[in-house]
């Protein structure tokens, strides 16, 4: 039997027995076969000695059982790694951040405590997936939308705690920001409720985020300070209608006008739907167009068009631009989603058009149909609008890695490199210049494919006010290639940080490095985080090393 690092087999056996007395023997897993499901299916270290694997897993069914398990873990010094549904593929999956730690699997805690479609919020347990909540809302005919990530199989809580993101209105897309109230079990087994949940008779746990006194909720996201057993989320009231509109800009330099339009529209609240940028001229698409490409293959460009794209540098050549102008193929396209009563949508679209007309020379527009009422879902089913834009969960995005019509060479997984960059066109051009040079000149990067960089990387706009320049690293079954990927990823973190671009989230194997570049004033932020760690979890039993935060006794072992 594998044991957690520094724990003797006898102590471990005693702890597992005690866990079983709390959760039942069926819910303590230690056989190699059972633990296989807690391996990170996308790990580039899969099968290698450094792969992060669990020594056991325990699956409690209630917050009280979580408390009892934590008290036992504390008594015996057993490190626990809580997961909600454990679907964090691309960022570590369900494997612990440190090998040997015991996965605390919260999937069985799958109660939807409340969905309020008058005040528009829900309170759920960690095992509730986006599919579960969506099905519940549909079954009861409630008039609220969820906001889900591309794949809908994960949990609201796990996704939000890892700072996950979705696709509806800006207020809901940033999942941690959209939360309201938490229940957290601390390392000593005590349960704490944040916000109005701390006031026993309050009816406002899902309504008023701040409660009274310092807001501590952020301490429990991307950290290892507690185990979240309930969480509230604000939900979007179902709008009357939805419409997509495209702003089409003809020239390379027009990216400035596109970004200025996007910022003003979003930051002023003129339209709240997820904006996306694409380049029809360079053959890159929005999320919906990407899903179509996974299944149907990339757009078939005319031979001359394809040659010009291949010959462009940083996505540009005068000939390519000329070709686009002659053929009326936009260089850039801003895809916007509008919600509300049809008259409001029409007014929003008018306002966007007049703003873009001032910002972009020779701009053109195209509006989709206004889909109202049940027609919204039908349009999403027909894939005329992106289902996630109206909170309909699905798994189509997995087409990016699996064998699909347009994707004959499946990957074994992928990792996202996800730096935050300024929300300006200058930054987009700079990111392309810097990363293009990096992949041409840095040996570790020359050896591996980096997805999304060529012919030109357009960032995503999941979270308001900044961009994320997300690039993909395809994991394969070749250990040598995977090791090269890890090295290359590390190089990109380093290069990004040199330019002030840091990860918003990263696979567990890179968390030490990604945290280390947030180094202002001799790493004062990390030192504060670790002071908190020492205070709330002195034995270091919760997710040691997650997001680069190590308990005192393990700090010397921090990876480079």
457 binding ligand FAD? (CB under 6 A):
no
> What's the farthest any 2 CA atoms get from each other in the chain?
76
- What is the C-alpha end-to-end distance of the chain, expressed in Å? 29
Of 151 and 232, the one with the shorter C-beta distance to ligand FAD is 151
Q: How many CA atoms lie within 13 A of 433 on its CB side?
A: 7
Taking the CB of residue 505, how many other CB atoms lie within 10 A of it?
Answer: 20
CA distance 99 to 199: 39
106 binding ligand FAD? (CB under 6 A):
yes
CA distance 2 to 35: 11
288 binding ligand FAD? (CB under 6 A):
no
Of 128 and 439, the one with the shorter C-beta distance to ligand FAD is 128
Q: Are 536 and 186 in contact (CB under 8 A)?
A: yes
Q: Are 431 and 420 in contact (CB under 8 A)?
A: no
CA distance 59 to 85: 11
Contacts with ligand FAD in 115-134 (CB under 6 A)?
126
73 binding ligand FAD? (CB under 6 A):
no
CA distance 43 to 415: 8
165 binding ligand FAD? (CB under 6 A):
yes
Can you tell me which of 155, 278, 321, 432 binds ligand FAD, judged by CB under 6 A? 155
Can you tell me which of 79, 158, 472, 551 binds ligand FAD, judged by CB under 6 A? 158
Of 43 and 543, the one with the shorter C-beta distance to ligand FAD is 543
194 binding ligand FAD? (CB under 6 A):
no
**DSSP classification of residue 504:** S
Q: Are 549 and 222 in contact (CB under 8 A)?
A: no
Can you tell me which of 251, 546, 550, 551 binds ligand FAD, judged by CB under 6 A? 546
To ligand FAD, the closest distance from the beta carbon of 380 in angstroms equals 16
Of 18 and 66, the one with the shorter C-beta distance to ligand FAD is 66
CA distance 367 to 349: 8
To ligand FAD, the closest distance from the beta carbon of 320 in angstroms equals 30
To ligand FAD, the closest distance from the beta carbon of 66 in angstroms equals 9
Can you tell me which of 317, 398, 483, 554 binds ligand FAD, judged by CB under 6 A? 398
To ligand FAD, the closest distance from the beta carbon of 125 in angstroms equals 9
468 binding ligand FAD? (CB under 6 A):
no
With tokens 């008259």, the residue in question is 343
Helices (H), ranges, 365-478 = 375-381, 425-441, 443-446
To ligand FAD, the closest distance from the beta carbon of 39 in angstroms equals 13
Structure tokens at 373: 């009422």
To ligand FAD, the closest distance from the beta carbon of 347 in angstroms equals 30
Closest by Cα among 312, 332, 333 to 436: 312
Contacts with ligand FAD in 26-65 (CB under 6 A)?
none
3-state SS class at 149: coil
Contacts with ligand FAD in 399-428 (CB under 6 A)?
400
CA distance 549 to 526: 7
228 binding ligand FAD? (CB under 6 A):
yes
Can you tell me which of 40, 65, 147, 150 binds ligand FAD, judged by CB under 6 A? 150
CA distance 442 to 445: 5
309 binding ligand FAD? (CB under 6 A):
no
85 binding ligand FAD? (CB under 6 A):
yes
154 binding ligand FAD? (CB under 6 A):
yes
Residues that bind ligand FAD (CB under 6 A): 82-92, 94, 106, 126, 149-151, 154-155, 157-159, 161-162, 164-165, 227-228, 397-398, 400, 543, 546
């Amino acid at each position: 039997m594998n044991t957690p690092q520094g724990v003797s087999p006898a102590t471990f056996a005693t702890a597992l027995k005690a866990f079983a007395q709390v959760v039942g023997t069926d819910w303590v897993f230690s056989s190699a076969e059972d633990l296989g499901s807690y391996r990170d299916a996308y790990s580039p270290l899969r099968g290698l000695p450094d792969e992060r694997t669990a020594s056991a897993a325990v699956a409690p069914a209630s917050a009280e059982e979580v408390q009892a398990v934590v008290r036992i873990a504390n008594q015996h010094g057993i490190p626990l790694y809580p997961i909600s549904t454990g679907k964090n593929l691309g960022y570590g999956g369900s494997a612990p951040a440190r090998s040997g730690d015991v996965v605390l699997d919260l999937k069985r805690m799958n109660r939807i405590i409340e969905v309020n479609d008058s005040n528009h919020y829900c309170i759920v347990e960690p095992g509730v997936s986006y599919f579960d909540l969506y099905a519940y809302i549909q079954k009861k005919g409630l008039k609220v939308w969820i906001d889900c990530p591309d794949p809908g199989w994960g949990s609201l809580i796990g996704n939000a705690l890892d700072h996950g993101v979705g696709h509806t209105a800006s207020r809901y897309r940033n999942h941690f920001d959209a939360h309201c109230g938490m229940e957290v079990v601390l390392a000593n087994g005590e349960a704490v409720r944040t916000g109005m949940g701390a006031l026993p008779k309050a009816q406002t746990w899902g309504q008023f985020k701040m409660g009274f006194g310092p807001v501590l909720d952020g301490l429990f996201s991307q950290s290892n300070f507690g185990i979240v057993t309930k969480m509230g989320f604000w939900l979007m009231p179902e709008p009357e209608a939805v419409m997509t509109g495209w702003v089409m800009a003809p020239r390379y330099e027009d990216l400035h006008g596109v970004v200025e339009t996007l910022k003003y529209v979003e930051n002023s609240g003129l339209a709240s739907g997820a904006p996306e940028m694409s380049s029809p001229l360079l053959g890159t698409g929005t999320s919906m167009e990407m899903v179509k490409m996974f299944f149907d293959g990339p757009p078939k460009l005319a031979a001359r068009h394809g040659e010009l794209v291949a010959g462009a540098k940083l996505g540009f050549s005068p000939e390519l631009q000329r070709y686009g102008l002659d053929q009326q193929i936009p260089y850039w396209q801003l895809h916007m989603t509008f919600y509300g009563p049809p008259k409001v949508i029409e007014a929003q679209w008018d306002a966007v058009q007049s703003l873009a007309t001032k910002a972009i020379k020779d701009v053109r527009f195209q509006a989709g149909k206004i889909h109202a009422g049940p027609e919204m879902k039908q349009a999403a089913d027909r894939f005329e609008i992106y289902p996630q834009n109206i909170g309909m969960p699905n798994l189509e995005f997995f087409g990016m890695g699996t064998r699909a019509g347009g994707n004959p060479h499946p990957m074994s997984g992928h990792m996202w490199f996800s730096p935050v960059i300024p929300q300006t066109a200058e930054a987009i051009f700079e990111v392309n210049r810097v990363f293009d040079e990096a992949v041409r000149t840095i040996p570790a990067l020359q050896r591996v494919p980096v997805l999304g960089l060529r012919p030109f990387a357009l960032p995503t706009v999941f979270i308001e006010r900044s961009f994320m320049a997300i690039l993909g690293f395809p994991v394969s079954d070749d250990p040598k290639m995977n090791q090269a990927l890890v090295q290359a990823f590390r190089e990109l973190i380093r290069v990004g940080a040199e330019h002030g671009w840091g990860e918003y989230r990263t696979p567990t194997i890179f968390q030490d490095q990604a945290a280390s570049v947030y180094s202002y004033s001799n790493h004062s932020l990390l030192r504060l985080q670790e002071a908190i760690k020492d205070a709330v979890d002195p034995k270091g039993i919760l997710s040691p090393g997650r997001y680069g935060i190590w308990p005192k006794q393990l700090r010397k072992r921090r990876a480079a």
